Structure 1
Amino acid sequence: MNYAVIFAGGTGTRMNARTCPKQFLKLHDKEIIVYTLEHFERHPEIDGISVVCIAEWIDYLKVLLDKYRLKKVKWISAGGSTGQESIYKGLNAMREDIEEDSIVLIHDGVRPLIDAELISDNIQVAKTKGCAITVVPAIETIMLVNDEGQIVQNVDRSRCRVVRAPQSFVYKDIMKVHDNARLEGINDIVDSATMMTRAGFKLYPVTGKPENIKITTPSDYYTFRAIVEAKENSQIFGI
């Protein structure tokens, strides 16, 4: 069985959106979080979805689930004080309901430009190797700086990858790592891939498409809009 944890607990301060959190901003009268959820809802290999949401917006999320007939969302949890805590809550909500050897795809609610192929690839690699981390090749020159802010080393970009989402794991493994982190009082690890590396797990890449961006700033939103409209035009005009 395969499940998705979609975390949408951020307030989106960098978006400068005064009316609502970034995951509830609309494009063509549809919320960003809905675009994201629809990919998992429609994927035949996804058996259920756990969503982590800002507590004050859970009722609105439920309205959207009903409006867009998102039937695979089976668990809704209030977000935590950090991203790590939010993911934990999304995972923990499923603890009594799914088998330990299930595959869980952890994904940002504000990464709506994924596709079915990426979801399938994550599931396949996680099943065969124990985990799957979505990446894209680094295309810019990368350099390291020291504590004084000086550039000290050029990094071979052919060996560099930018980590994105989904990040996919065997449920019992990712749950155990989160449980151990909480016992150690650790609550600020940036993402699940970093947590698993810290715990000694080997990570395996799945190459995604460059447009799988996280919508964090206004420019990200405009990029999202341009890509969606380009895809719509290609379907309409056959280009």
Structure 2
Amino acid sequence: MNYALIFAGGTGQRMNTKTRPKQFLELHGKPILLYTIEVFENHPDIDGIVVVCLEDWIPFLKKKLSHYDIAKVIDVVPGGATGQESIRRGLDALETAVGRGHTVLVHDGVRPLVSDETISQCVASVAAHGNAVSVTPAIETIVQEEGGTVTNIIDRSACRLAKAPQCFNIGELIDAHDRARADGEEGFIDSASLMRHYGHELHTVATGPENIKITTPSDFYIFRAFVDARESSEIFGF
């Protein structure tokens, strides 16, 4: 079975909003996080969802889940001091609820434009290869620099941008977190980096360029444009 672990524990400082965290900013009256949850709620391959949320916002989120008739969320747990700790808390909740022998799709709560096709391909990749990391091609030149000087120009045809979902066996990902905790390693940027560090060969799944993470105000405007275009196509049949 396949479970989504949606991470929504950040405060969104780069959004320059003083009123609420970025995952709870609203478009057409609906928080970004709910757009993300609905993608997994409506996908036939997803059997359940755990959300990791800022503790003070859990009551608000639960009201929204009820309002939008979200049925697959099996738990909402408070985040930790770091993203790595927060994901571990979500994994603990999943292990308690369903055990270790299932697939987990770790996804950002502020990545609401992930497609059904990407989710399906990730599930298929885990079944075939044991894991899946969503990626897009690098479309601009990537350089390394030091002290304001370019030290290397990387062949972008060989480069990919790691996105989400990042998908693994629940038990294997928990084991990697346990090893990181024992080693005092608390700085992994995402699950793919953690699993790669502990020897797992990672397999990629192509995702669309629209699968953006809403981090800055300009990202929010792009998200709004996609949603408005989608709604127009549904209304007018474009």
CA drift of 1:100 comes to 2.3
The 5-angstrom pairing of residues 39-118 of structure 1 reads 39-118=39-118
1:215 and 2:209 are equivalent in the alignment = no
Distance in 2 between the 1:9 and 1:129 partners? 29
Partner residue of 2:145? 145
Distance in 2 between the 1:192 and 1:124 partners? 18
CA drift of 1:96 comes to 2.4
Partner residue of 1:7? 7
The normalised TM-score by structure 1 is 0.97
Which deviates more from structure 2 when the two are superposed, residues 180-189 or residues 135-144?
A: 180-189
Distance in 2 between the 1:97 and 1:78 partners? 16
Distance in 2 between the 1:99 and 1:113 partners? 29
Distance in 1 between the 2:3 and 2:148 partners? 42
The 5-angstrom pairing of residues 149-228 of structure 1 reads 149-228=148-227
Distance in 2 between the 1:230 and 1:74 partners? 32
Distance in 1 between the 2:236 and 2:127 partners? 39
Distance in 1 between the 2:237 and 2:51 partners? 35
Q: 1:34-71: CA deviations, max 9, x gaps?
A: 00000111111111111000000000011011001111
Distance in 2 between the 1:37 and 1:211 partners? 17
Which deviates more from structure 2 when the two are superposed, residues 92-101 or residues 183-192?
A: 92-101
Letter in structure 2 aligned against 1:215 = I
CA RMSD across the alignment = 0.9
Distance in 2 between the 1:75 and 1:179 partners? 22
Distance in 2 between the 1:52 and 1:90 partners? 6
Letter in structure 2 aligned against 1:12 = G
Runs of 4+ in 1 over 6 A off after TM superposition: none
Structure 1: gaps spanning 5 or more residues:
none
Q: Count how many residue pairs are aligned between Structure 1 and Structure 2.
A: 238
Q: 1:62-121: CA deviations, max 9, x gaps?
A: 101100111111011101111111111111111122242211000000000012111111
CA drift of 1:149 comes to 3.2
The normalised TM-score by structure 2 is 0.98
CA drift of 1:220 comes to 0.5
Letter in structure 2 aligned against 1:78 = P
Distance in 2 between the 1:97 and 1:56 partners? 23
Identity rate, percent: 51
